[in-house]
Structure 1
Amino acid sequence: MADTNRGVVYQGPGKVTVEDLDYPKLELAEQNGRKLEHGAILKVLATNICGSDQHMVRGRTTAPAGLTLGHEITGEVIETGRDVEFVKEGDLVSVPFNIACGRCRNCKERHTGVCENVNPARAGAAYGYVDMGGWHGGQARYAVVPYADFNLLRFPGDRDTVMAKLPDLAMLSDIFPTGYHGAYTAGVTTGSTVYVAGAGPVGLASATACLLLGAAAVIVGDMNPRRLEQARGFGCETIDLSRHGDVPEQIEQVLGVPEVDAAVDCVGFEARGHGPEGSAGEQPATVLNTLMDITRAAGGLGIPGLYVTGDPGAPDENAKVGQLGLRIGLGWAKSHYFVTGQCPVMKYNRQLMMAILHDRVQIARNVNAAAIPLDQAPEGYAEFDRGAARKYILDPHGAVRAAA
């Protein structure tokens, strides 16, 4: 007999609860009972709270009440559909947050963040996220993954080795590949100097990726002293933007010049002004304009930070539809290039998995991962919203705490 299912449900701005849910079926009720014989049911071993989830919980998107949250999923396969050939029951797997069919033009070109077949409204889908196709979220005891043979990344080796590294491997579903994507697309390489805007979990993951890629100096800017301390703990320089509004001047104090080779925006659309006077108010274009200011001519900007087309809580009418006051003329004059959009997780997750399994990186330590029971999700969301310098892993079956 199937076990009971519980999950984290968005109830409206500022409120999430943990509720009893239906046990998963290989179908999608929100898409007219669409059958998922190509899918798999997972026992969720780890599922993380993400800053993107927090945008919804703050009421800064058009997410409907009743949405089951969660797009960062790591688990064990316990059932497969009749069309699944290669994934087997008992496999331990990472789930890319992008849902991809593996069949469309974009998937075949490795642009899995904008799959053409998994969202009736637009290209691109994700679990438990607003306007992303109606797929159930993974902050639950059990979850469904479609197109399992294509989407799931199986962990190699013996079970004990994998379980011992579960806190690190749990970062492969989103933030580690997303942070890496921001660094890689900005052109970070051996000897680069880099500015990372934001010391939340994605920013810390991106700073980690910069170091993994061989950066000579990584400077992280934020307004949260605890998160900046976390960045310094694994070798980054930092700028406290609540005190120092002049970012080029602060960069010059570190590097001797007021610019960097590459920059990464890990903040997104809820950015605040810099300096003692500006830090209290939202200025959505602040980060992007700052990055253009401090990135050298012909340099690159990686932009994994989330920008949305609908923001009910935006500070002005333009920002409510994602229209921001960018100094695009500055970027054009400096021949910058920009890379935006969802990270195509499958482009990076296997390589990053191997870096974890072979002890080349300690991503869970760098983002200060902390496992909490599923039923404590509301407290985790509240603490994260207050600026906790942690990456919260929800642990529905106690597997992460057992690994630790």
Structure 2
Amino acid sequence: MTGNKAVAYVGKGSVEVQDIDYPTFKLSDGPGVNQANVGRECHHGVILKNVATNICGSDQHMVRGRTTAPEGLVLGHEITGEVVEVGRDVEFIKQGDLVSVPFNIACGRCRNCKEGKTGICLNVNPDRPGSAYGYVDMGGWVGGQAEYVLVPYADWNLLKFPDKEQAMEKILDLAMLSDIFPTGFHGCVSAGVTVGSTVYVAGAGPVGLAAAASAQLLGAAVVIVGDLNGDRLAQARSFGCETVDVSQGDPKAQIEQILGVPEVDCGVDAVGFEARGHGREAGTEKPATVLNSLMDVTRAGGALGIPGLYVTGDPGAADEAARVGSLSIRIGLGWAKSHEFTTGQCPVMRYHRRLMMAILNDRVQIAKAVNATPIPLSEAPRGYHEFDVGAARKYVLDPHNMLHTSS
């Protein structure tokens, strides 16, 4: 048996690389593990040697102390790896396969999974529908910012890359399939983006940039990205997006300067519950700002895709209502404009195969769009810090020094 190093949350604002147990096909107790899952047999799973495992903005919410995540929780839900051990009941996935892991953990057997709603599987989290690796209140499945990780229901969950050599040539792009590329794409599909659409994406972090690239892939005529961070706005402009600096004020007037009208066809919220105010309130947390501004700038009859994370428990919120996920949303405005809203985890399996084919056939350069930047696992604390202070990068952890051939 080999060792295993992993990134763990150790207190507000802090992560560290720790030695943890090598995974087995039986869930053990540990920080954040749901007690009803302890002892759960997973002979339907595989053990992966992680090739790439990314730092996500959703991880940052926990590290900032904005959730009820316990200290010691092993982080990481964006996983790409090579199969090194195969469980007794796995039929089709083989040792040596190179695979992408959807961040949603899904059984493939329940009603929701059979309806394609893999983000709200009924069988993997004893507390509520939906689960993910290394995430608070998601059942306690050990995270994948590690050298090795267990993936349950492998035949169902894993996306095998058809050609291992070709995949390694594009591994940084393919590493985005576990979460942010499908998530951004889902936000655009939910918002109704199609050929000729005008689109406003709120947020120029990695999910927002992935959404912007997805809007282009879907045929949008104009993609506008709004943010407070100048470096991230420059990253959006680097692949053909228009940008709005919301530190200068409400986005509506700036959108009108770009389009000639103050509204777009489609709105995407890639910010979530830690939103900041616009203009003079740019330094103040205003969790409903993005949702309300999207309703304001999206035309009547349009739609809002909301892949940005909202939570039911936020101990760091500014007021009592926000601490339980209750925000001052202008639902009357959305009602008056007949808006459609789509929220929740992206069902990654709905999109990842098609997006894989787009990557392998050079239809999109998602790693370039999000500025994917490999770093060793040992440098995860630095990656978390730089990402937290606004680096215009998507940090990709490289546990086994295998990303040197990436494009």
Both proteins in one fold, TM over 0.5: yes
Residue 322 of structure 1: how far off its partner (Å): 0.2
Residue 402 of structure 1: how far off its partner (Å): 3.6
Residue 29 of structure 1: how far off its partner (Å): 1.5
2:401 pairs with 1:398:
yes
Distance 1:195 1:400 in 2: 33
> How big is each residue's C-alpha offset from its partner over 1:257-293, in whole Å with a ceiling of 9 and x where there is no partner?
0000000000000000001x10010000000000000
Contact residue 259 and residue 295 of structure 1 kept, 8 A:
yes
1:273 aligns to what? Answer: 277
Distance 1:335 1:176 in 2: 28
Contact residue 395 and residue 401 of structure 1 kept, 8 A:
no
Contact residue 41 and residue 143 of structure 1 kept, 8 A:
yes
The Cα RMSD (Å) is 0.6
Residue 299 of structure 1: how far off its partner (Å): 0.2
Residue 4 of structure 1: how far off its partner (Å): 1.4
Distance 2:368 2:242 in 1: 17
Distance 2:201 2:379 in 1: 31
2:80 aligns to what? Answer: 74
2:178 aligns to what? Answer: 173
* 1:5-404 equivalences in 2 (<5 Å): 5-30=4-29, 31-157=37-163, 159-243=164-248, 245-275=249-279, 277-404=280-407
Structure 2 length-normalised TM: 0.98
2:33 aligns to what? Answer: none
2:34 aligns to what? Answer: none
Distance 2:51 2:137 in 1: 26
Residue 160 of structure 1: how far off its partner (Å): 1.8
Please list every run of at least 4 consecutive aligned residues from structure 1 whose deviation after the TM superposition is greater than 6 angstroms: none
Letter in 1 for 2:265: D
Structure 1 length-normalised TM: 0.98
Distance 1:17 1:32 in 2: 25
Contact residue 245 and residue 251 of structure 2 kept, 8 A:
no
Distance 2:28 2:126 in 1: 14
Letter in 2 for 1:69: L
Contact residue 270 and residue 307 of structure 2 kept, 8 A:
yes
Q: How many residues align?
A: 400
1:264 partner SS: strand
> How big is each residue's C-alpha offset from its partner over 1:206-262, in whole Å with a ceiling of 9 and x where there is no partner?
00000000000000000000000000000000011112x121111110001000000
Any gaps of 5 or more consecutive residues in structure 2?
Answer: 30-36
Any gaps of 5 or more consecutive residues in structure 1?
Answer: none
> How big is each residue's C-alpha offset from its partner over 1:92-131, in whole Å with a ceiling of 9 and x where there is no partner?
0000000000000000000000000000000000000000
> How big is each residue's C-alpha offset from its partner over 1:130-188, in whole Å with a ceiling of 9 and x where there is no partner?
0000100000000000000000000012x221101000000000000000000001000
Distance 1:248 1:319 in 2: 26
Distance 1:316 1:296 in 2: 31
